């Protein structure tokens, strides 16, 4: 997990790609959870928080440019 200041330093394209990767990982974790093979349940919470932080950084960039 990156610090918020590092996320703000990235450009919007990189942030959107990172969101896509995290959403794919979240989907895979949901499948593992439904199968009963998920070992680290805390990772789902971490992913949700990371996505929220990235969305906040994207919104800040949009507010600055507008």
pLDDT for the residue numbered 19: 97
**How far is residue 66's CA from residue 64's CA, in Å, rounded to a whole number?**
6
pLDDT digit of tens for each residue in the chain (66 aa)?
778 889 888 999 999 999 999 999 999 999 999 999 999 999 999 999 999 999 999 999 989 887
Per-position b or e across 43-57, b if 16+ CB within 10 A of its CB: ebeebeebeebbeeb
Contact between 44 and 33 (Cβ < 8 Å)? yes
pLDDT for the residue numbered 66: 75
Range of the domain at 32: 4-65
Q: How many structural domains are present in the chain? A: 1
Give the CATH number for residue 20. Answer: 1.10.287
Main-chain phi, psi angles of 54, to 5 degrees: -65, -40
């Amino acid at each position: 997990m990156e610090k918020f200041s590092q996320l703000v330093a990235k450009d919007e394209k990189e942030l959107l790609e990172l969101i896509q990767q995290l959403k794919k990982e979240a989907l895979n974790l949901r499948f593992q959870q439904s199968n009963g093979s998920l070992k680290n349940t805390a990772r789902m919470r971490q992913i949700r928080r990371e996505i929220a932080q990235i969305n906040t950084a994207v919104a800040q960039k949009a507010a600055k440019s507008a």
